[in-house]
Structure 1
Amino acid sequence: MKLNFSNLVLAAAVCLSANAYAADGGKTGKVKPAPPRKFIDPANIDPSVKPGDDFFEYANGGWLKSNTIPAKETRWGSFNILNDDNKKKLQAIVQEVSKTSATAPKGSIKQRVGDMYASAMDTMAIEKRGYDPIKADLKRIDAIADINGVVNEIVYERANAIGSPLFSFGIRQDPKNVSKYVVGLGQGGTSLPDRDYYLKSDPRTKRIQDAYKQYIVDLYTLTGSSAEVAAKNAATIFALETKLAEAQMTRVAMRDPNKTYNKFAIADLSKTTPHLNWAQLLPKLKVNGQDTVLVSSPSFLTAADGLLASTPVEDWKTYLKWGILRGSAGSLSSPFVQSQFKFSSVLSGQQVQAPRYERMTSLVDGSLGELLGQLYVEKYFTPQAKASMLALVNNLKSTLGDRIKRLEWMTPETKQRALRKLNAFTVKIGYTDKWETYAGLTVDRSDYFGNLRRVSTWSYNDMVGRLGKPVDKTEWGMTPPTVNAYYNPVNNEIVFPAGILQFPFYDFKADDAVNYGGIGAVIGHEMTHGFDDQGRQYDADGTLRDWWKKDDADKFKSRADMVVNQFNNFVAVDTMHVNGKLTLGENLADLGGINIAYEAFKKTKQGQSNTKIDGFTPDQRFFLSYAQVWRGLQRPEALALQVQTDPHSPGQFRTNAPITNVDAWYKAFNVQPGDKMYKKPEDRIRIW
């Protein structure tokens, strides 16, 4: 996945230890190793499906028929199984350290990790407090008397890491001056996952809107409002958030990095937002010494400012209270947690909530990720895994360079610039070389909610503290146990956390076909993000700068438009089509990834042979490995949510669409005219 720009997904792996079992049912205690893993298991295949009709079903149909989605999950497949295994490893770590963290040295890794988990699992204390932790916030909002009070509360909540009302705010690298941090402002202020959840009126969206309004009613009722007042509040909040949604840019429009790059002098921005005087507000946000800001959506800030003037103060107070309630519900007593899950289950289809210990393990990873991450990699990640990944990355990097040199549609001048960018890639594998210490962060074993607030405050202060300092390119955007990967264009880096470096993406014991079809395609995917519709607009040093000749850019766009059209034709759930423009970056990366990985695989000894394993040729194993990475089942609600909001296409399309453009797949599985997935050679899309 691409951090903040596009993201999915890579893999490689630490070798998993084999399970052991008692040879005599446990009577003697003697054990013997489990049978060797079948990296391509014929039992997972559905031979009744022709590979050329639906390769996803052919490669995964046996598995799909024999598996169901656990009640606590919204989807179940290769990623989820690996993620679930990683969670178990993390659970074992946090549960173990929490037993002794009370006596560990204050401020040590084990004290803070263990006490954070222990406080999160102290349900008796959490239940006893009810919603006491947020009463002061609600009382403060009650005292607001005018529009200035509304604005001051908005700024206060941000500066104290309590909430994020009305607009988005953050510190990031300046895409056109990547050695400097800059203040970023943009659209925000809504609670539902996408603007269209406010603006559409189809039956699925209407169910979500009704559930959302009931969620508002439930939380207000839990804090003492009458049913009548709570219902009125829900109507007020939904109406105000709908106006904010109307002012927001679409997700597709937000994909254009030049359209969202709008630099303003602070005084000039303030002229467009008379009720938001940024020269006065930024110091309250702990931002000093800045004369300019970046605004991703100037029209949104103008509209939000207009709403400040036209909306009654009492409505703003209702809205601000809702932000506190919504943001805190999952951290309060069980009635609040249950109300939150009740609403989220309508969005996702999840049937039961995951056990608390599992949720709180994820919370520790999310809040103290580089402390817990040190304990994780110490136990589960090896130098051998890192070295092996580096070798794979270098092989694929060389292969992509060869492919760029052979491009028939690109001029030599642009090719040289593309190669310069490729050669400038920074590669990060496993975990950071400079661990975050969370200096000054106190974790109290008896104060769960306070711990969360302190982590948020620490994170906010750390973020604004970057201003005026050199950009730290050692930072990671994911924690070590994360089952994912990303490309970051402003650093021109590809990043592979330790958590993803496991089967089915990679295994030391697997043959090259499996590893190149799995992790190889993912490495190629992340590399291609540097040259997708967004990433290609950034230069070798990460600067947002046009380095393309116009004819080359036009030819790229015409080919990318073919990918848009291919995915627009896929129906994901009900009548919902995949959004080819929203998912373009990921789809381009998948197409590039499988092509690069296949060519790199053909350089290996196995790739140049025709020796079968478990009845499959090397090429067949490569494509089957690629398909099993995307193996999975998904609830209809989660699938609809993904299509509406996620830049990644559903797994079956990520499997089937790219391979229809790869000549070798046709040969490997004897795909012929008349097969449902067949495309004429001249219609196959060829980009990178």
Structure 2
Amino acid sequence: MSLRTIVPVALTAAITLALSVHGPQAEAASTTKAPAASAPALDVAKLDAPKVAFNLADLDPAVAACDDLNGFVNAKWLKANPVPSDRTSWGSFEVLAERSLVIQHALVEQAAAANAPAGSIEGKIADIWRTGMDEAAINQAGLAPLQPQLKAIDGLRDGKAVAAWLRDRYAQGQGFLFSFGANADYKDSSQVIAYAGQGGLGLPEKGYYFDESQAKIRDAYVQYIARVLVLGGAKPAQAATQAKAVMAFETRLANASLSRIELRDPSKRYNPVSAAQANAITPHFDWNAFFDTLQVPAEDKFSLAQPGYFAELDKMLADTPAATWQAYLRFHTIDEAAPYLAQSFEQAHFDFYNKTLRGQQEMLPRWKRSLEAVNDAMGEGLGQLYVQAAFPPESKVEMQQLVHNLSIALKARLEKLDWMSAETKQRALEKWASFTPKIGYPDKWRDWSGLRTSDAGFLANMEAAQAFNYRYRLDKIGKPVDRTEWGMTPQTVNAYYNATKNEIVFPAAILQPPFFDPKADPALNYGGIGAVIGHEMMHGYDDSGSQFDAKGNFDSWWTDSDRKLFTERTDQLVAQFDGYEAVPGVHVKGKLTLGENIGDLGGLTVAYDALQMALKQDPAAKGKIDGYTQDQRFFMNWATVWRRNFTDGELRVRLNTDPHAPANFRAIAAPSNMPAYAQAFQCKAGDRMVRGKDRVAIW
């Protein structure tokens, strides 16, 4: 169930869709066989890890299921579980993520205590962990670890020097002015090419620079920029002037950027050009020199998406004073490094991005922040230890059967569509036949032998990992796509669909209640992980994924009339979510969340079909449990998955940036469109959970 895009939206190849909005981005698996890590013995059952699952005691009899499924299933739990002070949201995903963190914490502590060999995975994880936990050493170092970069910025005198500095920093994996990375060619998904896309903004989305409703956030951001510049050595008055210049600089970039909604269109993320053609757009930024510095073979073809952004950026290299460039680069260099610097820098970063912007009242404890760093640096390496300690092999076997069952149900539904022509339906079934499921963890692990870590310092280790991981990704350019790679770590509570590989992926950490429980009755598993499986499959047929064919190529496989009929149906779903008011005066953006909403509706429908197939094969499972039918328990567990509280700030940010609707609407939206829900709870026309003439049916 795609809940978040695991590749930053600024990256033009961002077509991987994930189930939840949070979770660390993982490094992909390598094409070389790595030795298995040897995890210390760990009794997961004895760890004090939180759990969440469907529970009869959570049901609120004061709320009618025909009026509000979310309230009926989750109201009591939500009231009893407010957002913790060190969080911005709290619900099923966060509880499972917390459980995963407890396991990871035990693993890194054991690795640190074991004095593992320096070149081993455990040894490198231990280096990052120990230096991250050494707060005294980090504070004593102050800004010193970053001074060489800042000194270089102070020496920049013109746009030509800025361009050269950018080339050098990108070669170290430290680029924030635009995204640059590797991904499958949209038109030939078997080959990897380079993608460049818009970036450079410190606020979440371009609308923050212009919308009247964000004026206070803009003011706070300018104050934050000044605060960072003062910490970097500027006088307060000088910093205040520079902060205004940086804000004007970013506002100009934002004006040339596309919105999150516009970036949902794959054609806005793919613009293949040669280096010569790109140089014509950016005469002050030489792409041949950039590729030479990064040592990537991209001169003949790479994607320069959002060319208008790069044209404006090029103008800024020519007409923006060097002093403004220096202020902008100093600010972002310090800001990017702040989580790994002394307490004053980390606190400033937290105060704006977490507290002011999202409403988080307290920092996470040091161990969780350090564990986030380990995941950022060596996520899949830690994943090897996690799988050995916490993932039972039988879970993978049972998941394979569930995926098979959902696949059969999806095929049957595609074959029965009455609005799609035979021609398009044949192509849809070809795509169905080429789905690749991945469950639990990669079949081969990434090789970490080239990464050098030490006890030299936290920032030094993180920069080493950043450069190593970026080099790893850049080395894919010009080579065949490795379809064995993963885009999430096993310890991530999430799932995703990748359009260019036409694959659905389910990491180990999500395979636990309320999503999956080998001991649970069919309804709970089909309403949980079954709906997740269906959701990810349906991403292949949402408004964006449906533009990629069975081989993962960006290619229209629809007749014009079928695409028109599809759009008429999806427009109804846009209207449904546009009607949901998340906070007073602020509605969900139906176009921004369309792909996820299609995934929810189609995925839950297919999961329901699969449940009925399973119950026919095992009639003994049809009886009531605790007074509820299998159909009722199916929908109630779906709602359990989507129990979630938000801070007001977090919710407002997500409404502007997140392609997923708030959880309370996800709990009710798809069921309200399904006649099976009304039948399960004996709802009547006019009940809030029964949509009438405006009922949406797509897949």
TM-score of the two chains, using structure 2 as the length reference: 0.92
Report the counterpart of residue 672 of structure 1 in structure 2: 684
Compared CA separation, residues 145 and 231, structure 1 to 2 (3 A): same
Q: C-alpha distance in 1, partners of 2:433/2:586?
A: 40
Report the counterpart of residue 177 of structure 1 in structure 2: 188
Q: C-alpha distance in 2, partners of 1:675/1:172?
A: 47
Contact 1:10/1:523, CA 8 A, preserved across alignment: no
1:310-321 alignment runs, 5 A limit: 310-321=319-330
Report the counterpart of residue 550 of structure 2 in structure 1: 540
Alignment counterpart, residue 339 of structure 1, candidates 341, 348, 354: 348
Give the Å deviation of 1:164: 2.1
Letter in 2 for 1:157: R
SS of match in other structure, 2:195: strand
SS of match in other structure, 1:274: coil
Report the counterpart of residue 388 of structure 2 in structure 1: 378
Alignment counterpart, residue 258 of structure 1, candidates 258, 267, 282: 267
Report the counterpart of residue 88 of structure 1 in structure 2: 102
**67-76 or 533-542, larger mean C-alpha shift:** 67-76
SS of match in other structure, 1:677: coil
Report the counterpart of residue 335 of structure 2 in structure 1: 326
Q: C-alpha distance in 2, partners of 1:573/1:289?
A: 46
**598-607 or 523-532, larger mean C-alpha shift:** 598-607
Letter in 1 for 2:182: I
Q: C-alpha distance in 2, partners of 1:287/1:20?
A: 46
Report the counterpart of residue 169 of structure 2 in structure 1: 157
**662-671 or 391-400, larger mean C-alpha shift:** 662-671
Matched, 1:369 2:379: yes
Give the Å deviation of 1:605: 3.0
Compared CA separation, residues 59 and 6, structure 1 to 2 (3 A): farther
Matched, 1:488 2:498: yes
Alignment counterpart, residue 122 of structure 1, candidates 116, 129, 134: 134
Q: C-alpha distance in 1, partners of 2:573/2:291?
A: 43
TM-superposition CA deviations, 1:275-332 (whole Å, max 9, x none): 1121222212322363122121011111111122221111111111112111111110
Report the counterpart of residue 61 of structure 1 in structure 2: 75
Give the Å deviation of 1:114: 1.3
Q: C-alpha distance in 2, partners of 1:672/1:361?
A: 50
Report the counterpart of residue 31 of structure 1 in structure 2: none
TM-superposition CA deviations, 1:612-640 (whole Å, max 9, x none): 21121111100000000001111111100
How many residues end up aligned between the 2 structures? 663
Matched, 1:236 2:245: yes
Q: C-alpha distance in 2, partners of 1:495/1:40?
A: 24
Give the Å deviation of 1:269: 1.7
TM-superposition CA deviations, 1:231-275 (whole Å, max 9, x none): 111101000000000000111111111233211121122112111
Q: C-alpha distance in 1, partners of 2:584/2:254?
A: 25
Contact 1:8/1:484, CA 8 A, preserved across alignment: yes
TM-superposition CA deviations, 1:205-233 (whole Å, max 9, x none): 12221221121111111122111011111
Q: C-alpha distance in 2, partners of 1:289/1:619?
A: 54
Give the Å deviation of 1:45: 1.3
1:473-552 alignment runs, 5 A limit: 473-552=483-562
Q: C-alpha distance in 2, partners of 1:432/1:561?
A: 38
Q: C-alpha distance in 2, partners of 1:468/1:61?
A: 52
SS of match in other structure, 2:194: strand
Report the counterpart of residue 97 of structure 1 in structure 2: 111
Matched, 1:44 2:53: no
Report the counterpart of residue 33 of structure 1 in structure 2: none
Letter in 2 for 1:256: D
SS of match in other structure, 1:258: helix
Contact 1:486/1:495, CA 8 A, preserved across alignment: yes
Contact 1:643/1:649, CA 8 A, preserved across alignment: yes
Give the Å deviation of 1:572: 0.8
Contact 2:47/2:102, CA 8 A, preserved across alignment: no
Report the counterpart of residue 93 of structure 2 in structure 1: 79
Q: C-alpha distance in 2, partners of 1:312/1:39?
A: 58
Report the counterpart of residue 569 of structure 2 in structure 1: 559
**519-528 or 303-312, larger mean C-alpha shift:** 303-312
SS of match in other structure, 1:530: helix
Contact 1:163/1:323, CA 8 A, preserved across alignment: no
Q: C-alpha distance in 1, partners of 2:147/2:80?
A: 50
Matched, 1:580 2:590: yes
Compared CA separation, residues 663 and 226, structure 1 to 2 (3 A): same
**511-520 or 607-616, larger mean C-alpha shift:** 607-616
Report the counterpart of residue 179 of structure 2 in structure 1: 168
Q: C-alpha distance in 1, partners of 2:149/2:319?
A: 25
Contact 1:184/1:296, CA 8 A, preserved across alignment: yes
Q: C-alpha distance in 1, partners of 2:312/2:575?
A: 34
Compared CA separation, residues 38 and 634, structure 1 to 2 (3 A): closer
For the aligned residues, what is the CA RMSD?
1.8
Letter in 1 for 2:332: G
Compared CA separation, residues 289 and 564, structure 1 to 2 (3 A): closer
Matched, 1:656 2:668: yes
Compared CA separation, residues 118 and 369, structure 1 to 2 (3 A): same
Q: C-alpha distance in 2, partners of 1:55/1:250?
A: 33
Matched, 1:111 2:120: no
Compared CA separation, residues 38 and 513, structure 1 to 2 (3 A): farther
Q: C-alpha distance in 2, partners of 1:76/1:365?
A: 21
Matched, 1:619 2:631: yes
Give the Å deviation of 1:604: 1.9
Alignment counterpart, residue 596 of structure 1, candidates 606, 615, 618: 606
Alignment counterpart, residue 467 of structure 2, candidates 409, 432, 457: 457
